[in-house]
Amino acid sequence: METLLSRGRAGASLADVGVIDLHGHLGRYSFAIPDLSAGSIVRVLDRVGVECVACSHMQCMGYRAHWANDEVLAAMRAHPGRILGYINLWPASVDAVRVEVEKRVAQGFMGVKLHNGNGFTYSDPAYAPAYAIAHDCHLPILFHTWGDDPTLRDVREIAARYPGAPCLLAHAGAAAEDKYLALAHDLPNIYLDTALSCPPCGLIERLVAGAGAERVVFGSDIYFLSLPHQIGKILGARISDEEKRLILGGNARMLLHR
């Protein structure tokens, strides 16, 4: 009997599965990337059979958020329906954040990507308009996380205060698996993102067992990580094909109203 795993092992396209990658990147970073074009990502999507990828810019940790969002917008327009856009933000002020989010939502961006490697906590007051708009418009917010208590406490408070905003926790299970599972148990708008280069053995199975497959979403972290490799760990997980389909695209389709 053909399974998703057997198809992956054979190198068959997953185009009929409706795979949606909710964690991608565009732009230059501190390591060599042979081809920085959005087209290079789309060629990977085509080869594997991935419907689309939601991207933020590598400047998600820097102050050039406006420029970064322009770069993502150009990729969205060059590859409509294949490259989706997360809004990068630099919390200079409440008004600056509000203006940027309103502008980008009007341009068709599908969510917000925040990274606390920029020196600001997620509880910074300047981010409040972004959370409020995401709540009102039901836009996903992708938070960079790595299992530390201060970050997860901030995310818990934000998710509870803005229940209309799906909160995606990047690199779920990178550390403190139990804390991620507790968040998903306590808050219905928490989703666990699978992007992780070296996941502990059985991590996907434990996330599904603890949170339910409907609360786990696929993220590759492309350019940082290999999209085929990241799909492989979902295909190879000891869970049902129905659960794999939810993770690979079904949950994202619901979140994006596609």
Query: 4-256 falls under which CATH superfamily?
Result: Metal-dependent hydrolases (3.20.20.140)
Q: State the pairing for strand pair 190-193/167-169.
A: parallel
Can you give the pTM of this predicted structure?
Answer: 0.97
Instruction: Tell me the pLDDT tens digit for each residue of 40-83.
Output: 999 999 999 999 999 999 988 888 999 999 999 999 999 999 99
User: What percent of the chain clears pLDDT 90, i.e. is strictly above it?
Assistant: 89
What would the two tokens of residue 135 be?
């709540």
What pLDDT shows up at residue 167? 98
| Euclidean distance between CA atoms 192 and 219, whole angstroms | 9
Query: Over the chain, what is the mean pLDDT?
Result: 96
What would the two tokens of residue 18 be?
């409706």
| Euclidean distance between CA atoms 68 and 26, whole angstroms | 9
| Euclidean distance between CA atoms 232 and 165, whole angstroms | 29
| Euclidean distance between CA atoms 236 and 100, whole angstroms | 40
DSSP string, 159-207: HHH-TTS-EEETTTTSS-HHHHHHHHHH-TTEEEE---SSPPTTHHHHH
Instruction: Average the pLDDT over each of 38-42, 120-124, 155-159, 196-200 and give the range with the smallest value.
Output: 196-200
What pLDDT shows up at residue 197? 87
Residue 258 has pLDDT above 90, yes or no: no
| Euclidean distance between CA atoms 16 and 14, whole angstroms | 6
| Euclidean distance between CA atoms 87 and 130, whole angstroms | 10
What pLDDT shows up at residue 32? 81
What pLDDT shows up at residue 171? 96
Q: What is the mean pLDDT of residues 118-122?
A: 95
Band (139; pLDDT cuts 50, 70, 90): very high
Residue 1 has pLDDT above 90, yes or no: no
User: What percent of the chain clears pLDDT 70, i.e. is strictly above it?
Assistant: 100
What would the two tokens of residue 19 be?
């795979």
Instruction: Tell me the pLDDT tens digit for each residue of 172-231.
Output: 988 899 999 999 999 999 999 999 988 889 999 999 999 999 999 999 999 889 999 999
What pLDDT shows up at residue 29? 84
What pLDDT shows up at residue 174? 87
Band (162; pLDDT cuts 50, 70, 90): very high
Helix, strand, coil percentages, rounded to 5, for the chain: 50, 15, 35
What pLDDT shows up at residue 6? 97
What pLDDT shows up at residue 175? 87
What pLDDT shows up at residue 62? 82
What would the two tokens of residue 143 be?
């938070």
> What are the φ/ψ torsions at residue 168 (nearest 5 degrees)?
-95, 125
